[in-house]
Amino acid sequence: DIQMTQSPSTLSASIGDRVTITCRASQSITSWLAWYQQKPGKAPNLLISKASSLESGVPSRFSGSGSGTEFTLTISSLQPDDSATYYCQQYNTYWTFGQGTKVEIK
């Protein structure tokens, strides 16, 4: 099974900061990676698919990069509405989620 490891588990940043979350796969998944945002009590929302393809309606401050085993989600200028937990998910071989990264606003 492919394992997904996110870092950090929690991060605290100020409004306007550039924020980066890393996701590592236990083996190559080429670009078959998605990022989701989840707010408390809500279902996850797909932000990015195929590592770097921004979903329709997602603000352009979100971007994804990487291939193989290392991937990043970047928020270029953190906004209050971005306070949430973010999950990566591989879909190269079945489907596996990372453990999540909680983003807090200072």
Partner 1 sequence: QPQLQESGPGLVKPSETLSLTCSVSGGSISSSSYYWGWIRQPPGKGLEWIGNIYYSGSAYYNSSLKSRATISVDTSKNQFSLKLSSVTAADAAVYYCARLSRSSTVTQRGAFDIWGQGTKVTVSS
Residues that bind partner 1 (CB under 8 A): 1, 32, 34, 36, 38, 42-46, 49-50, 55, 87, 89, 91-92, 94-100
Pick 9 or 79: Cβ nearer partner 1: 9
Question: What amino acid occupies position 31?
Answer: S
For residue 87, give every residue at least 6 positions away whose Cβ sits within 8 Å of its Cβ, in sequence order, or none: 6, 35, 36, 38, 44, 97, 98, 100, 101
- How far apart CA 33 and CA 11 sit, in angstroms, is 21
As measured in angstroms, the least distance from the Cβ of 91 to partner 1 is: 5
Pick 14 or 56: Cβ nearer partner 1: 56
Pick 17 or 91: Cβ nearer partner 1: 91
